Amino acid sequence: MANKQPIKYPWWYGGAGGIVACLATHPLDLAKVRLQAAHMPKPNIFQMVETILKQEGLKGLYSGLSASILRQCTYTTARFGCYDVMKNNIIPHDQLNNTWMLLPASMISGAIGGLVGNPADIVNIRMQNDTQLPIEQRRSYKNALSGLTTIIKTEGFKKLFTGLQPNLIRGCLMTASQAVTYDIAKNHMVTKMGMNPSNKKTHFTASLIASLMATTICSPADVIKTRVMNAHKHHETAWTGMVNSVKREGPLFLFRGWLPSFIRLGPNTIIIFLTAEQLKKHKVGLKVN
């Protein structure tokens, strides 16, 4: 009897999970972006949330939501989609738990996601941080599409790819640390610890481990990306900006906002993978014979 071939699930599951996660965790992402863009002395995440509520109300916690959703439709969909396509069509079935096969596939996928999602990422960061700027410097984008068209008209198409270098690096690191860690952790729990591969407890634990790994590994690139994309003028490369910032603020600058990043990325990662696993369980989008 021939070995049963693994089911090839639709490539958009990860992106769908990203949109669900975005709706649930956007306020935390907003607080993280503002903390990373803030100058010394910096508030903590609770003070930041309190400030947003006082100054902008409950609605303020969802500033830039349209851009955040657009980012999930581009960046998250592309990186998880490419990763799944490679696992389904390039990596041999018996190597799907081989870290050295999964890492290059995830890094290539992450880079593609970073490239595709860069324009939405710029608009997302600018919209989330807009009210923190002096009134004369605010962009006041109405929504994500308005932000994209305004940037093209006033700053040129090339501006949509500002900060691409740290975004590509972050995309590679995020996908490698997040997706590969999830796959390896889940496989270890199933094969070595006897956990049920269909159980939400298994999915939750694997995604929590993945979020811890991803937050730590991606923090430096994430901080630099936020600073570069939010700036009005650019006279230095991402590398130069990082070196100068470390000189001014110390090496811990590279991990600024780690806690709010984890507070956001933990639930975000868990929701992404739980949603994707539920879509797999119910075979959404699959042709059932």
Compare 136 and 226 and report the one with higher pLDDT. 136
Q: Can you give the pLDDT at residue 233?
A: 60
| Distance, CA of 118 to CA of 184 (rounded, Å) | 28
pLDDT of 43 reads: 78
Confidence bin at 2 (pLDDT 50/70/90) = very low
DSSP-assigned letter for residue 5? P
pLDDT at 145: 96
Which of 68-72, 143-147, 244-248, 281-285 bottoms out in mean pLDDT, i.e. has the lowest? 244-248
Instruction: Please write the tens of the pLDDT for every residue from 181-192.
Output: 999 999 999 999
Look at residue 132 in the predicted model and tell me its pLDDT.
82
**Of 110, 28, 116, whose CA–CA distance to 71 is shortest?**
116
Number of domains the chain contains: 1
CATH of the domain at 145: 1.50.40.10
pTM for the full predicted model: 0.85
In the block, which residue shows the tokens 């081989």? 98
Q: What is the pLDDT of residues 34-45, one digit of tens each?
A: 887 777 667 777
CB 257 within 8 A of CB 32: yes
For residue 154, the enclosing domain spans: 13-281
- Is residue 6 in some structural domain? no
* Helix 258-281 vs helix 13-37: crossing angle, to nearest 10: 170
Task: Quickly state the pLDDT bin for 236 (edges 50, 70, 90).
Answer: low
Residue 35: its pLDDT value, please? 80
Question: How large is the angle between the packed helices 45-60 and 13-37, nearest 10 degrees?
Answer: 120
Is the per-residue pLDDT at 174 higher than 50? yes
Is the residue at 5 inside a domain? Answer: no
The residue-averaged pLDDT of 69-86 equals 97
DSSP for 94-107, please give it: GGTT-HHHHHHHHH
Amino acid at 11: W
User: Considering the chain, what is the average pLDDT of its residues?
Assistant: 88
d(CA 221, CA 118): 14
- The answer to whether position 120 is within a domain reads yes
* 243 vs 31, more confident: 31
Tell me the mean pLDDT in the region 18-26: 95
For residue 105, is it within any domain? yes
Q: Is 141 left (phi over 0), alpha (psi -120 to 50) or beta?
A: beta
Residues 6+ apart with CB under 8 A from 113: 74, 75, 76, 77, 78, 79, 80, 82, 171, 175
Q: At what angle do helices 200-230 and 13-37 cross, to 10 degrees?
A: 50
Integer Cα distance of 123 and 52 in angstroms: 19
> What distance in Å separates the CA atoms of residue 97 and residue 128, rounded to the nearest whole number?
38
Domain presence at residue 169: yes
Mean pLDDT of the region 253-277: 88
- What mean pLDDT comes out for the span 141-158? 96
pLDDT for the residue numbered 238: 63
| Mean pLDDT of the 259-264 span | 81
Amino acid code (one letter) for 82:
C
> Cα–Cα distance between 115 and 109 in angstroms, integer?
10
Q: Note the pLDDT of residue 289.
A: 55
Mean pLDDT throughout 97-109?
96
Q: Is residue 84 part of a domain?
A: yes
Distance between first and last Cα of the chain: 20
Where residue 1 falls among pLDDT bands split at 50, 70, 90?
A: very low
Structure token pair of residue 146: 């308005």
93 domain-assigned: yes
Candidate from 17-26, 61-70, 91-100, 255-264 with smallest mean pLDDT: 255-264
Minimal CA–CA distance to 70: which of 175, 163, 149?
149
